Amino acid sequence: MAAGVDVLLIDSSHGHSEGVLQRIRETRALYPNLPIIGGNVATAEGALALADAGVSAVKVGIGPGSICTTRIVTGVGVPQITAIADAVEALKDRNIPVIADGGIRFSGDIAKALAAGAACVMVGSMFAGTEESPG
């Protein structure tokens, strides 16, 4: 924190787990004013658990990312638009934004995520093939 951190992301392939929730609670207790993003979750219950633990924003998406195998390996996951809409609905009275993470392959996917209620999206593979990206 001494380096001037603007926001901290506490992230796991399955963020609705006790280890992630405990880390968020501990971090919130140490740094009450630090913006904390928690994730990733795919259900309203997961979003609410992160909110109750003290996050400032929730990352939603288990399985839709281009290299994610969580849904295949564990059987855990929800279609992305449903996951976004459910999390947004669950958090609507808490002023906690939802970040759509994964499944953005085309520009229309950004519009769909925003229409489902996401405050913003994380985009990776869509930019990876551009001239401006390294590698």
How does pLDDT run across 61-83, given as a tens digit for each residue? 986 555 566 666 667 668 899 99
Residue 18, amino acid: E
Residues 103-125 have a mean pLDDT of 92
The pLDDT of residue 134: 76
The pLDDT of residue 127: 79
The pLDDT of residue 67: 58
Question: Is the pLDDT reported for residue 119 higher than 60?
Answer: yes
List of domains in the chain: 8-125 (3.20.20.70)
Confidence band of 109 (pLDDT split at 50, 70, 90): very high
Residues 40-48 have a mean pLDDT of 96
- Whole-number Å distance between alpha carbons of 34 and 37: 10
What are the DSSP calls for 64-97, one per residue? -STT--HHHHH-----HHHHHHHHHHHHTTTT--
The pLDDT of residue 69: 65
Per-chain mean pLDDT for the chain: 90
- More confident of the two residues 135 and 105: 105
Residues 22-35 have a mean pLDDT of 98
Whether the CB-CB separation of 1 and 34 falls below 8 Å is answered with yes
Cut 0.85: pTM above it: yes
